[in-house]
A and B are shown apart, each in its own frame.
Chain A
């Protein structure tokens, strides 16, 4: 039996869930289902959708929303928060070092070739320091849990992590649907996220921008799967949502085209991958980006959040070295654990992985979104054999992890509550003044019974995440 967020190892209701358990016991039959339908109607009316690639019939879908909140007690959270701050601090120092003195490579903490030949390593950034020295302004760190104290980091998303709009909208929805429940619970507000983000972006603007920097959110456009989130964030921040064609570079500075002529832009919260940012530096045929943007960036006239080249820190192969990276840069023991991982690039590890493929999760180093991975226990024999070939052909491209028994949380399914596996993505903000964590996050839930895949692109849903004050 997996650890359950509500009932722990099965012996009664955990402290943080007691109020919810009482409320559920008193709730009339069918109430949750009725509220659930209300939520769906509302999300559809608001147009809170995400696009699914390669699916023309339903190119806009709702991410299923589960109305039963995932609750995290104050003490649990304090531990997570300390661990997240430590980890993201280390990641920022690591990136400054990789693109600077490369002490950690010289000291053999991480193999140099793993960094320098990494597809996410950006040579154009070597020797550069982004404005105010911040690399990962926004990180979304994926955590999973296997027991009372068993939190593990599954992935550090350091490029353009998404999902924060769901953290905010889910809360909005819960407060609308269950006001009485909030009256009894000291839930910490997540609504301050927009203010936190705005202050972080302001603080990271180039010195020359002055006291009131112009900030924009850069989106690939309405056809991107996360477009709703981009427009949502621009709205909450009170800044313009721009596409590449709205910006241009002149005299080493970035401008946007407005109805009153050009206006200089100081900070770009970009939701476009490195490769597409500037066709003059990266992919030449991309029309999403802004020609010359990298020149302006290198001249220090504009802040990009996140910085260019941060992908080298959330690469799945580099991930395996994160405990050593944390020790090297902070001098502290890592507070949050890594999932034990076999690096298939190492022959001994590969041998072991091949011997028990049916028990492991094997991931492509550069993959994301739950694509290109093998979940051994759930795979057919044919799938395993097909994957074995890929693995032998290209061991460098893969890592393997034990299938963790992810914790479950009570989830509504056809009117009844059942435990479904969940993960947690808190959002961590960095600026020159320090590192902060928004008190909450995105809880993703695998809606299919027994499934461990929580990705929204693969049938996962979301829940509101409550961090308690006491």
Chain B
């Protein structure tokens, strides 16, 4: 496969994943902002936090408002990480490698792009919520078309690798913004506000129900962290994303008959996950742990780029 084709597939996967993540953050924030009685902070801090979770804490200066954050994360054409820009870029990448996609997958991506115009840029909360719902639906249909129609060959693996790297990055950044909420009990007592924030955090990664199934317990911060960092059943956890990355890299290595630095780096990281316990992670600092993870995720992305995409 052409390196450029692989690169475009990889970024198609990344941008679709990012669009989905942004929709989820915005949706959870809308919900949190709608709760009337919160202990401290005001609506602005909630939206500032959404901005930080999306990886752009300083993008809107000192006082982001609901309007400006929504606008920025959903529609801003100049923001590489707005929903509109992600769908447009995913489609541009997909268009440049159409021949590597099935008709169904191309139609799903092109359909999402065509739909942007129809959706417009709604400002009313209910309409905006419907827009987010629509984004989740189109990313799901891209996902469905990928898994139901793509041949399981290198093209598929690069699409999936991009999505997995992006997803790991998103979960890690989200955790980093919220890590102070997850500090072990005793350091800071969770009140009513924290409870809402924890559930919001779980909603952001569609994991509220999953949490209850896995832990059969009320929402406790270290369990939330365990779910999102180490739990292998949770598809957005760092460990799950890492396992996906390893799996797709190994399949590529098998198909191509050659392992390289990307495979070795990914396998090393996977071993580190297998030996981790959440208590130890808290012991040495969740923030530091996540920062280290983000750094390694970036290095792995670079290794994949050097080995295959350039």
Cβ contact within 8 Å between B3 and A47: no
Q: Which A residues lie within 8 Å of B111 (CB)?
A: 45
A182 to B310, CA, bound (A): 48
Q: How far, in Å, is B103 (CB) from chain A's closest CB?
A: 8
B72 within 8 A of A: no
Question: Do A259 and B114 have beta carbons less than 8 Å apart?
Answer: no
CA distance A259 to B110 in the complex (A): 26
B4 contact from A45, A245, A260, Cβ within 8 A:
A245
Tell me if B6 is interfacial: C-beta within 8 Å of chain A: yes
Q: Across the interface, do B1 and A45 meet the contact criterion of CB distance under 8 Å?
A: no
Number of interface residues of A (CB under 8 A): 21
Q: Are B95 and A246 in contact (CB under 8 A)?
A: no
**Which A residues between 163 and 185 are near B, CB-CB below 8 angstroms?**
none
Residue with the highest number of chain B CB atoms closer than 10 Å, among A46, A47, A227, A234 = A47
For B131, what are the chain A residues with a Cβ–Cβ distance below 8 Å? none
0 or 1 for each of B162-183: is its CB under 8 Å from A? (1 = yes): 0000000000000000000000
Q: What's the minimum C-beta distance from A371 to chain B, rounded to whole angstroms?
A: 26
Q: A47–B1 Cα gap in the complex (Å)? A: 23
Q: State whether A240 touches B95 (Cβ < 8 A).
A: no
A231 / chain B contacts, CB cutoff of 8 Å: 95, 98-99
Residues of the B chain whose Cβ atoms lie less than 8 Å from the Cβ of A245: 4
Closest to B5 in A: A240
Q: How far is the CA of A245 from the CA of B114 in the complex (A)?
A: 29
Min CB–CB distance B144 → chain A (angstroms): 17
* CB nearest neighbor in B for A245: B4
Asked if B66 is an interface residue, CB under 8 A from chain A, the answer is no
Residues on A with C-beta less than 8 A from B3 are 246, 257-259
A464 interfacial contact with B, CB 8 Å: no
Contacts of B95 in A (CB 8 A): 47, 222, 227, 231
Instruction: Determine the chain B residues whose CB is within 8 A of the CB of A227 once the complex forms.
Output: 95
> A448 interface residue, CB < 8 Å from B?
no
Report if B45 contacts A (CB, 8 A): no
Is A325 in the interface zone, CB < 8 Å from B? no
Mark out the residues of chain A between 242 and 300 whose CB falls within 8 Å of any chain B CB in the assembled complex: 242-243, 245-246, 256-260
26 contacts between A and B (CB under 8 A): A45-B107, A45-B110, A45-B111, A46-B103, A46-B106, A46-B107, A46-B110, A47-B98, A47-B110, A221-B96, A231-B95, A231-B99, A235-B98, A243-B4, A245-B4, A246-B3, A256-B2, A257-B3, A258-B2, A258-B3, A259-B6, A259-B158, A259-B308, A260-B1, A260-B256, A260-B258
* Interface flag for A88 (CB, 8 Å): no
Instruction: List the 8 closest pairs (A to B, CB-CB), nearest first.
Output: A235-B99, A231-B98, A259-B308, A257-B3, A47-B110, A222-B96, A259-B6, A259-B1
With known contacts A45-B111, A259-B154, A246–B2 Cβ distance under 8 A: yes
**Least CB distance, A5 to chain B, in whole angstroms:** 33
* A44 interfacial contact with B, CB 8 Å: yes
Q: Is A241 positioned at the interface, with any CB of B under 8 Å from its CB? A: yes
Nearest residue (CB) in A for B6 is A259
Known contacts: A222-B92, A259-B256. The answer to whether A246 contacts B99 by CB under 8 A is no
